[in-house]
């Protein structure tokens, strides 16, 4: 079985990257992680990737004159490495429409909310400020608008009394680590198709969301 050659783009600690790397360590997993690229020198995820034996590259956006030049270098690096699929995993740099078009339907992202609610930064703080009872995470195909695009997998996570942004973020992150490998598996196995910007999953008779874990305190 040919595995889909996948790059992971990070800016920070890379815990979602690690979840993808761990899943892809199984030779039966349909994607292979061939490269980790960070736009931030010293990003924590770089060491974790290297420890897993994955080639890493730093492309520091501050060394480029504008987004297009940065993205040209990124595109060249990925193309040279034979990359077929990109996973954004805590990659905190907006990508231009031109780059998104180059990788259309071949680039996915994880966001720590139930999109389309709570796009952008300070997600958990805003969730708490609104008093919503559930939040979660979303893996979606990337489109030019920030945190938008056809949804592949979501998980619902309860907001509990006494939560602060740290406790909520930790609970959502656990769900992220389940969702992202699941979503990449569906895409890499060719089970997803996009019609009118809605993803359908072949062979999925039931829901393709991940329900709350009863252990998370919901009764």
Is the CB of 89 or the CB of 187 nearer to ligand GAR? Answer: 89
The residues, ordered by sequence, that sit 6+ positions from 76 with a Cβ below 8 Å of its Cβ are none
Residues 154-193 that bind ligand GAR (CB under 6 A): 173, 176
Stretch that binds ligand GAR, among 22-30, 61-69, 78-86, 109-117 (CB under 6 A): 109-117
Identify the DSSP state of 5.
E
Stretch that binds ligand GAR, among 26-34, 66-74, 105-113, 154-162 (CB under 6 A): 105-113
Q: Taking the CA of residue 167 as centre, how many other CA atoms within 13 Å lie in the half-sphere pointing to its CB?
A: 9
Stretch that binds ligand GAR, among 12-20, 78-86, 149-157, 181-189 (CB under 6 A): 12-20
27-66 mask for ligand GAR (x: CB under 6 A)?
----------------------------------------
Is the CB of 80 or the CB of 164 nearer to ligand GAR? Answer: 164
Q: Distance (Å, rounded) from C-alpha 61 to C-alpha 113? A: 27
Is the CB of 85 or the CB of 155 nearer to ligand GAR? Answer: 155
115-154 mask for ligand GAR (x: CB under 6 A)?
--------------------------------x-------
Q: Distance (Å, rounded) from C-alpha 67 to C-alpha 177? A: 30
Q: Does 110 bind ligand GAR (CB under 6 A)?
A: yes
Stretch that binds ligand GAR, among 5-13, 20-28, 64-72, 150-158 (CB under 6 A): 5-13
Q: Does 71 bind ligand GAR (CB under 6 A)?
A: no
**Preceding omega of 114 cis (within 30 degrees of 0):** no
Give catalytic status of residue 182 as yes or no: no
Q: Does 84 bind ligand GAR (CB under 6 A)?
A: no
Query: What is the SS3 assignment for 19?
Result: helix
Q: Are 207 and 182 in contact (CB under 8 A)?
A: no
Q: Are 107 and 204 in contact (CB under 8 A)?
A: no
Is the CB of 90 or the CB of 150 nearer to ligand GAR? Answer: 90
Longest Cα–Cα distance of the chain, Å, equals 54
Backbone angles phi, psi at 46, to 5 degrees: -65, -45
Query: What is the SS3 assignment for 87?
Result: strand
């Amino acid at each position: 079985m040919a595995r889909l050659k996948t790059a992971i783009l990070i800016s920070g600690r890379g815990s979602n990257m690690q979840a993808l790397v761990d899943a892809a360590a199984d030779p039966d997993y349909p994607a292979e992680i061939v490269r980790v690229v960070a736009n931030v020198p010293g990003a924590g995820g770089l060491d974790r990737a290297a420890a897993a034996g994955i080639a890493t590259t730093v492309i520091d956006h501050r060394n480029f004159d504008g987004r297009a030049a940065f993205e040209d270098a990124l595109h060249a690096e990925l193309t040279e490495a034979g990359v077929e699929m990109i996973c954004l995993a805590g990659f905190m740099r907006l990508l231009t429409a031109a780059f998104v078009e180059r990788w259309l339907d071949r680039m996915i992202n994880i966001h720590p909310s139930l999109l389309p609610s709570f796009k952008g930064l300070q997600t958990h703080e805003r969730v708490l400020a609104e008093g919503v009872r559930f939040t979660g995470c979303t893996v979606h195909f990337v489109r030019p608008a920030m945190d938008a695009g056809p949804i592949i997998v979501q998980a619902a996570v309860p907001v509990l009394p006494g939560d602060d942004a740290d406790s909520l973020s930790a609970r959502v992150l656990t769900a992220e680590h389940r969702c992202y490998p699941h979503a990449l598996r569906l895409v890499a196995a060719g089970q997803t198709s996009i019609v009118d910007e809605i993803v359908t999953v072949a062979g999925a008779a039931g829901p393709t969301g991940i329900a709350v874990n009863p252990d998370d305190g919901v009764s």
